[in-house]
Amino acid sequence: MEINRNTIIKDLIESHPETLAVFKKYNLVIAGGVRGPNEPIAFFAKAHEVNYDILVQELNEAIAKGGGEPIELPTLEEDKIYEKFVKTAIILTLTVGVTFGAVILSYIAVKFSFHSIYYAMIQAHGHAQLFGWVGLCIMGFALYIIPRVKNTELRHRNLTNICYGFIIAGLLLRVLLQPTPFRSLRILVFISAILEIISIYLFAFIILRTIFASKEKPGIFDKFFKAGIIWLIISTFINLGMTIYLYNHAIYEIPRTVFSPFVHLYLFGFVFMFIFAINIRTVFAFLDIKPVREKAVNLTFWVLNISVPIYFVAHVFAHRSVIAFRFSQGIAFPIAFALISFIYGLRIFERSTKELQDVVMDRSYAKTIRTAYLWLIVTAAILLVIPFLGLGSEMQQRFHGSLNHAVTVGFITMMIIGYASKMIPTFKGIDMHSLKLSNMTFILLNTGCFLRVFSQIMVGVSEKPVYYVVMGTSGWFELAALGIFGYNLWKTMNTTQVAKSPAALS
């Protein structure tokens, strides 16, 4: 077959299995199951920073050689290392995550009060979303993606099942037992933190060993991965400390002055670092834009990593110290600046270079990724307003809740959905199960997120019952969105393709 810019890699491999050797040389074909990714060669070359003309020349040479003397073909098996992490994340968010959150919001709406909810239940729900939905998705994708962007093999693959088992055990113990009024079981909440520490340390060990084993030149994104690992480890120490506090004081609620800053340390530290790293490495190809502005991206890295610990400490002690209170107000500005600087550096809203305009492929994921960054702008705007609302006031608490939702659903969940919709079909070498369901997910999730962020701000401004009602409905839009997404992604992951033998293709 004649190779052109729109030649699908898996089709080329099926017709000419001898080209596997070339793809393996560039570490390209690993990401597409047993037959290769369902992507045009031109797109794949840009995404993996390979010269298209040289790649095609080597492929043609391999095809020509394949017709002569026999050559040894490399074997390839589909890598499903991410699958159990992602599937478990979907199960958790559709049970104790977004479903439980929708119920809580509806109850608040009925009571017209945020103080009507048992706060330990909110914290358990938050833990499920942070370490379950977000954490498991990032862990699963990182175990698959990082070896590929670093052009190396995943180190200590045999430890990933242990890592998975411990994090699931820890999550279930924490989510189920923190709100329960049985003092005899309090020790198990502490044990849950130990299990999560073991899992996260194994994950950190695997990822860092993989990164350091690579012979590739370090990229600008490398330090984001490494910093993210450091913040994840720090988060586990703080989480352990919070469970020790619960056990020693025989209580069920973590002090809000600690839990809230902890959430932001986890999000702005670990989660943002990993998302930013993947974005730096892939967005220029996914959206067909110019490479990142390195100075702006590096500025974000340093400002954010300096600001996050200051933010945490200042907010923990803001009620006890005037100095800490002033820092808690002022630190919002460099964090917001860092977020805007990253958006500028990533070029996310800039025009296409049109390098891939002749390439025919599904780009429905692009709107989801760009919309995620619109929500990050909303996050930065709310962050800049909060310091002027009075520490601990009802209005500040409502704006704070809107901020959290803009971050976790608007930016992070939107980004997870966008990347999962692009990369898992690539991992499988197939198309997404249903583009129609993907579009429904996008509409419903944005509707729910907008209703929640807007209505919670308005509750803080006026406390009119109508805003409580709107807020109470928002969670069900998001539940529908994630339910549809979960079904669509699950069907995609369960789709199998049968590898054709070279003999069958000759």
Kindly indicate the confidence band of residue 148, based on its pLDDT and cuts at 50, 70 and 90. Answer: confident
Q: What architecture does CATH give domain 9-77?
A: Orthogonal Bundle (1.10)
With contact defined as beta carbons under 8 Å apart, do 146 and 424 qualify? no
Mean pLDDT (whole number) for 6-17: 85
Does residue 367 carry a pLDDT above 70? Answer: yes
Q: Which residue has the tokens 């999550």?
A: 171
Q: What angle do CA 137, 143, 146 make, to 5 degrees?
A: 110
pLDDT of residue 15: 83
Return the structure tokens found at 96: 């104790």
Q: What is the pLDDT of residues 449-486, one digit of tens each?
A: 999 999 999 999 988 999 999 999 999 999 999 999 99
Query: Where do the domains of the chain lie?
Result: 9-77, 81-254
User: How far apart, in whole angstroms, are the C-alpha atoms of residue 367 and residue 362?
Assistant: 12
pLDDT of residue 8: 87
- pTM of the shown model: 0.92
SS (H, E, C) 198-211: HHHHHHHHHHHHHH
Does residue 75 carry a pLDDT above 70? Answer: no
Kindly indicate the confidence band of residue 505, based on its pLDDT and cuts at 50, 70 and 90. Answer: very low
Q: Is the dihedral of CA 152, 153, 159, 165 positive or negative?
A: positive
Residue 292, sorted as left (phi over 0), alpha (psi -120 to 50) or beta, turns out to be: beta
Q: What is the pLDDT of residues 159-177, one digit of tens each?
A: 999 999 999 999 999 999 9
Kindly indicate the confidence band of residue 503, based on its pLDDT and cuts at 50, 70 and 90. Answer: very low
User: How far apart, in whole angstroms, are the C-alpha atoms of residue 160 and residue 146?
Assistant: 14
pLDDT of residue 70: 56
With contact defined as beta carbons under 8 Å apart, do 112 and 174 qualify? no
Burial letters 117-149, b for 16+ CB under 10 A, else e: eeebbbbbbbbbbbbbbbbbbbbbbbbbbbbbb
Rg (CA), the chain: 24
User: How far apart, in whole angstroms, are the C-alpha atoms of residue 384 and residue 442?
Assistant: 27
- Please state the φ and ψ torsions of residue 40, each to the nearest 5 degrees: -65, 145
Mean pLDDT (whole number) for 255-266: 96
Q: What is the pLDDT of residues 89-133, one digit of tens each?
A: 999 999 999 999 999 999 999 999 988 888 899 999 999 999 999
Grouping H, G, I as helix, E, B as strand and the rest as coil, residue 262 is helix
Return the structure tokens found at 388: 């002027």
Q: What is the pLDDT of residues 381-398, one digit of tens each?
A: 999 999 999 888 889 999
160-163 own/partner pairs: CB under 8 Å, 24+ apart:
160/81, 160/202, 160/206, 162/199, 162/202, 163/139, 163/199, 163/202, 163/203, 163/206
